[in-house]
Structure 1
């Protein structure tokens, strides 16, 4: 009798859980949309009014059109310079992966949240990649909470006398935040965080960090920028096991920074995926356009990305290996002897991708793939299928 009662209780619990998840699936996006609406002033505060040619009232009207008609949060308005483009073009922008409608569909089909743990901890990700023989930078050690930064760095430099440069990263960091570059010069060690030199004497770690050797990049990349410059490539594993490249762009650091993230002052430059060459125009987080790197003065257009086919092959191999998570953004550096996987982003920022490469739904293969997986979020996006003669 006890076992029967327990079975009944378990069944009731499973039913309640099922209904709770079903209700949450529909209610949570609505609640998030309400919060996003209240946060619209954030998008307004990010407009670079030095270059925006739209009136302030016009910008607010554009925000409301994007939010209520296209159903995404207009945080891409300034980065993608939408004021320059007619509204008829805006439907080709998918918007941020963090937006409620996008997030709801992506998590249901291609980005199941239960597998995000594989990518949130760099130590775990690296261990999985090593098991699959995926090339990554060497991890030399770890800095644990309450350990002194300077002493640990001294120890690692003493253990690796051949190295003069190290990179310290939070295991759970993103966007280049918390990354510290260490350079040994004679008997001194220089520490750089972003564009700023810092002093780590007496500083204790407050979280877990990994320490890696600094990558010796391909000369064709280093001559443009001395930071660790990476290819951000976004891939989708389709039902036929083919990997579709959604888009790709190169990121370059500026000034004395050793990281290339846009949030840290870096630039993004689109890559022609068929030719493996940089396109003409790059941009930064403040929507400013660049035809050359501001430090090296090297023009972007036509610069060949070394080992491009190997970069695409590596990204495809990683995507197939992590088949449980079918939509990934990867950061790949290009060393002297080939590409290395730097990081896997389970929730990459699609706004950055579309800022660099343009709207992803301008690509017929992408529209068809998103349609097959039911990832399109409004009728305007679904109407794009008619342009390609696809029956809905």
Structure 2
């Protein structure tokens, strides 16, 4: 209903005859009912609507067996597996401090059975002291979109755990050192680590290309930046790492377009991502080690360079569609989609 309201109230809609014509053309060309048209393509600024990946094409890209190896997908989509993998081969990623599977907490090759809140407080006090850190970030291994994430600080452990104890001991979480974000990005928003989503594609020719990049920003006091959790996203120009002038909320969160961060008032246009080239190089180098066909890489920028936070085998194609002005403009994406259609 929220998406429908956004569509009906949007001030920059195409005329209804034009929308009807485009929907009919999409039905014929794409061979599906283009419900996705009413999320974004109805806007006047979208003139090349045929260049946008359709829903069926998206399913091919994220699920086709010839593009995704199940063993790679299991590694990519599980934050615990990925963190342990990165630790073994020294990929730049936030340090894995500990993790838990239910009430079993793992740290320093030991397993601690947590039976009450006091024991959990003691566990984290030891962990903070031994690692000389003042905060931990928690993520469920298999959830996405920032769901279930939270932070615990050394100075306020007991209060943090008052409302989180049951959630922790009844769930599964990866506990990593909190990333200290680059000061330039903090100027835009400092309450969350605002990550780049860089998407790599293994082309038909067998080499890896970056086909899309955007940055997500949190809003308010949220510690997560994900657009699906109420944040917004801004496209990154692939050539030079500068931000596009307009940021976007997803339609389920109002679909608004903005030119500056709502909290800081910082304008996006012209802002250059620090260590952008290094972030792309890190993704390309790591994609050679995990050569799955399509991967979304979440990369944080610190004062010392980029670190990979996590990976996703389903990298939110609709957002990339918007920030790239239609993914099918990329010849490698177009060739892959056409090849997958022939195989299906």
TM-score band by shorter chain is 0.7 to 0.9
Alpha-carbon distance in structure 2 between the residues aligned to 1:154 and 1:110: 46
Which one of the candidate residues 219, 225, 232 is aligned to 1:254?
A: 219
Change in Cα spacing, 1:127 to 1:332, as seen in structure 2 (3 Å) is same
1:7 matched residue in structure 2? none
Is contact 1:122–1:171 with CA below 8 Å preserved after alignment? yes
Is contact 1:229–1:260 with CA below 8 Å preserved after alignment? yes
Deviations 1:73-107 (A, max 9, x none): 64643553533246x611100134xx3x5434661
Deviations 1:129-168 (A, max 9, x none): 2233211101111122245795546522432233222111
| Correspondence 1:200-239 to 2 at 5 A | 200-203=164-167, 205-226=169-190, 227-239=192-204
Is contact 1:107–1:113 with CA below 8 Å preserved after alignment? no
1:373 positional shift: 6.8
Alpha-carbon distance in structure 2 between the residues aligned to 1:203 and 1:266: 24
1:219 positional shift: 0.3
Which one of the candidate residues 107, 114, 131 is aligned to 2:64?
A: 107
Could you tell me which runs of 5 or more consecutive residues in structure 2 were left unpaired when the two chains were aligned: 104-113
2:127 matched residue in structure 1? 159
Change in Cα spacing, 1:257 to 1:43, as seen in structure 2 (3 Å) is closer
Change in Cα spacing, 1:203 to 1:374, as seen in structure 2 (3 Å) is closer
1:290 positional shift: 1.0
- Determine helix, strand or coil for the equivalent of 2:8: coil
- Determine helix, strand or coil for the equivalent of 1:181: strand
TM-score, normalization: structure 2? Answer: 0.82
1:70 positional shift: 2.4
2:108 matched residue in structure 1? none
Deviations 1:30-72 (A, max 9, x none): xxxxxxxxxxxx7964744332554997778866654554245
Could you tell me which runs of 5 or more consecutive residues in structure 1 were left unpaired when the two chains were aligned: 1-41, 192-197, 379-392
Alpha-carbon distance in structure 1 between the residues aligned to 2:315 and 2:121: 30
- Determine helix, strand or coil for the equivalent of 1:311: helix
Change in Cα spacing, 1:108 to 1:292, as seen in structure 2 (3 Å) is same
1:9 matched residue in structure 2? none
Say whether 1:142 aligns with 2:142: no
Is contact 1:229–1:252 with CA below 8 Å preserved after alignment? yes
Alpha-carbon distance in structure 2 between the residues aligned to 1:221 and 1:273: 18
Greater mean alpha carbon deviation, residues 335-344 or residues 174-183: 174-183
Is contact 1:333–1:341 with CA below 8 Å preserved after alignment? yes
Alpha-carbon distance in structure 1 between the residues aligned to 2:298 and 2:75: 16
Deviations 1:180-206 (A, max 9, x none): 122344675447xxxxxx822554533
1:124 matched residue in structure 2? 81
Change in Cα spacing, 1:152 to 1:169, as seen in structure 2 (3 Å) is farther
| Higher RCO (CA < 8 A, seq sep 6+) | 2
Alpha-carbon distance in structure 1 between the residues aligned to 2:84 and 2:277: 25
Alpha-carbon distance in structure 2 between the residues aligned to 1:281 and 1:350: 18
Is contact 1:184–1:190 with CA below 8 Å preserved after alignment? no
Say whether 1:356 aligns with 2:316: no
1:239 positional shift: 4.5
2:110 matched residue in structure 1? none
Say whether 1:169 aligns with 2:139: yes
Say whether 1:50 aligns with 2:9: yes
1:207 positional shift: 2.8
Matched length: 323
Alpha-carbon distance in structure 2 between the residues aligned to 1:144 and 1:263: 26
Which one of the candidate residues 71, 75, 84 is aligned to 2:44?
A: 84
Say whether 1:326 aligns with 2:293: yes
Say whether 1:270 aligns with 2:235: yes
- Determine helix, strand or coil for the equivalent of 2:169: coil
- Determine helix, strand or coil for the equivalent of 2:306: strand
1:199 matched residue in structure 2? 163
